[in-house]
Homo-oligomer: A and B are copies of this chain.
Amino acid sequence: MSTQRYKCMIQYDGTNYVGYQIQKNGISVQEVIQKALKKMFKGQKILIEASGRTDSGVHALGQVIHFECPANIEPIHLQRALNSLLPADISIKHTERVSDEFHSRFHAKGKKYMYRVDLNRFADPFKRLYTLHHPYRIDLVKLQQALDKLVGEHDFTSFCSTKTIKEDKVRTVYQAKYEMDEEKNELVFTFVGNGFLYNMVRIFVGTCLQIADGLKEPEEIDRLFEVKDRNEAGPTASGKGLYLVEVYYDNQFLEKLEKRTSPPWPMKK
């Protein structure tokens, strides 16, 4: 029987999951989607592949997965059926047929992440699962300088969890910027790169906030590129503030990126 490969863009609230990937210690997003597919296809096991993992508590606005279906179904029908079987914290937002060659991880050319920081003095109860609470005065000029230093091709060993199995720690960051959402009193980071190492965005945020707090100077980033030691960088910021926003499969996204990152002052909305 011939099969059909599908690509789906999915969103999830990562709060109740041990992360994207199947693990022994709890329920993962992958496991839940595979169970829904199994139910749909009468007990047939279907493996899904994603653009990459996300950690426990990390959210996705645009994760991409692919899988082989034993039947050739209209994408919108497949999507509706799957959504009706999935819990409310996971949603399939877009579905399309792709060729058997397409691979969500191997063919990814780049990714965009967002990280939300709640600057309110007293933490907002509605943001507790969706932002890092950081009620301190921050130096936006230094923050901008630090972010500018992250852009480019670098060896990011200092910004990568030692638990990684990847040998090559060289990646290119195309964009590292912040915006101030003054209405919500939030600092929102955006990072775009050709690939991100294990915990890389969270260590970027932990280190940049140290610099914004005045605990370190922006030149710390240069030193971290030199020393190549995870222990020298800032803490791994909480997973709950992190969102996988988009996965790019061709290089058009590079043309759309602004040349400069962000201005060294808060942007009015």
Cα A229 to Cα B59 in complex, Å, equals 45
What distance in Å separates the Cβ of A211 from its nearest Cβ neighbour in chain B? Answer: 26
CA–CA, A90 to B124, complex, Å?
Answer: 8
Tell me, in angstroms, the Cα distance from A122 to B92 when the chains sit together.
8
Report how many copies the assembly holds: 2
B contact residues around A123 at 8 Å (CB) = 83, 88, 91
Least CB separation from A83: chain B residue: B122
A43 contacts partner chain B, Cβ-Cβ < 8 Å: no
Name the interface residues of A84-103: CB closer than 8 Å to any CB of B.
88-93
Q: Is the interface of A mostly helix, strand, loop or mixed?
A: mixed
Contact of A130 with B by CB under 8 A: yes
A54 at the interface (CB under 8 A from B): no
* Chain B, Cβ-Cβ closest to A14: B125
A89 to B130, CA, bound (A): 12
A174 close to B (CB within 8 Å): no
Q: Is A128 an interface residue (CB 8 A)?
A: yes
Give the shortest distance, in Å, between A185 (CB) and chain B (any CB).
13
Tell me which residues across on chain B come within 8 A of A13, comparing CB atoms.
125-126, 128
Q: Does A11 contact B (CB under 8 A)?
A: yes
- A91 and B11 form a contact (CB under 8 A): no
Q: Which of A9-60 contact B (CB under 8 A)?
A: 11-13, 59
Chain A contacts with B in 62-97, Cβ cutoff 8 A: 79, 83, 88-93
CB distance from A237 to the nearest CB of B (A): 16
Contact B125 A88 (CB under 8 A): yes
- Across the interface, which residues of B come within 8 angstroms of A79, CB to CB? 122
A90 in contact with B125 (CB, 8 Å): yes
Known: A93-B122, A122-B83, A122-B93. A88 touches B128 (CB 8 A): yes
Q: Give A197-234 interface residues, CB cut-off 8 Å to B.
A: none
Closest to A60 in B: B125
Q: Name the CB-closest residue of B to A59.
A: B126
What are 24 A-B residue pairs whose CB atoms fall within 8 Å in the complex? A11-B124, A11-B125, A11-B126, A12-B125, A13-B125, A13-B126, A13-B128, A59-B126, A79-B122, A83-B122, A83-B123, A88-B123, A88-B125, A88-B128, A89-B125, A89-B128, A90-B125, A91-B122, A91-B123, A91-B124, A91-B125, A92-B122, A93-B122, A126-B130
Interface residues of A (CB under 8 A from B): 11-13, 59, 79, 83, 88-93, 122-126, 128, 130
11 further A-B contacts with Cβ under 8 Å, apart from A13-B125, A13-B128, A88-B125, are A11-B125, A59-B126, A83-B122, A88-B128, A89-B128, A90-B125, A91-B122, A91-B123, A91-B125, A93-B122, A126-B130
